[in-house]
A and B are shown apart, each in its own frame.
Chain A
Amino acid sequence: MSDPMRIRAQAQGDKTTVRVLVSHEMESGQRRDAAGKTVPAWFIQNIVATHNGKTVMSAQWGPAVSKNPYMQFSFKGAKAGDKVAVSWTDSKGEKRTDEAVVS
């Protein structure tokens, strides 16, 4: 089971900036292990952020997104105290959802 995502959502006026740090290996499938075997690709393919049930960001990632990936975006219409949820699905079908409160 993966570690929780670190999500920071800060409202400044009508704009809320969200920074997410996800815990994930994001194996590109290019790397070889100590024995020389190629480590199979394993990476987040979809990541979605919602606010009050509405999608505010939807991204597709490939194996070139870094390990423990970072994402930043901003959207309108949230205020302090609202919840933002971030969900991801990876190439093995694993999923995770975490929430944060807008500050």
Chain B
Amino acid sequence: MERRHFLATSSGATALALVASAGFSPAHAQATAAWNKLAFESKTLAEAAKALGASGAPVESKELILQAPEIAENGSVVRVGAQSNIAGTTQIALVVEKNPNALAALFDIPAGTDANVATNVKMGQSSNVYALAKVGDKFFYAVKEVKVTLGGCGG
């Protein structure tokens, strides 16, 4: 039974991948957004923003607060938080510029949820870390340089 369920969802996931970017999700028990493969393979902030739907360059905003350490001792676990005080924020993305793939995580903010998220990311080396906030069809960013003592991408 478990295998049948797995096969059913795996073919569903393949269909989603073919449909590409986010939006369409099947109505099964765990309604998840499609995984934005294009965005997660982007190599720069600009590519990530574009893959998330930005039509121009994101604009820096002081209303978007990025929390990240000045120096991360361990690049495998770097706590990064972003709080968007921009009304109507629907998505927050965390981007580590010098990682092999720049986009680390993407949070969709439903109505009633604060645009304030935090997670731990891996950083391969010292790098700029960006928070991107999607507000309507506009994108804003905040940036902070994080120095890493011991890189966390492995190898």
Please report the C-alpha to C-alpha distance between residue A60 and residue B104 in the assembled complex, in whole angstroms.
9
Residues of A within 8 A of B136 (CB): none
| Residue contact A48 to B118, C-beta cutoff 8 Å | no
Number of chain A interface residues as a range: 35 or more
Residues of A within 8 A of B100 (CB): 28, 30
In the complex formed, the residue of A with least CB distance to B76 is A66
Interface residues of A in 79-103 (CB under 8 A from B): 87, 89, 93, 95, 97
Residues of A within 8 A of B77 (CB): 66-67
| Residue contact B107 to A57, C-beta cutoff 8 Å | yes
Please report the C-alpha to C-alpha distance between residue A102 and residue B106 in the assembled complex, in whole angstroms.
25
Interface residues of B in 57-97 (CB under 8 A from A): 76-79, 81, 96
| Residue contact A56 to B32, C-beta cutoff 8 Å | no
Please report the C-alpha to C-alpha distance between residue A74 and residue B120 in the assembled complex, in whole angstroms.
17
Interface residues of A (CB under 8 A from B): 15, 28, 30-32, 39, 45-46, 48, 54-67, 69-77, 87, 89, 93, 95, 97
| A-B CB contact pairs (8 Å), 25 listed | A30-B124, A30-B153, A39-B154, A54-B112, A55-B31, A56-B113, A57-B110, A58-B32, A58-B107, A58-B110, A59-B106, A60-B22, A60-B36, A62-B101, A63-B122, A64-B103, A65-B122, A66-B78, A71-B117, A71-B118, A72-B119, A73-B107, A74-B113, A75-B114, A97-B30
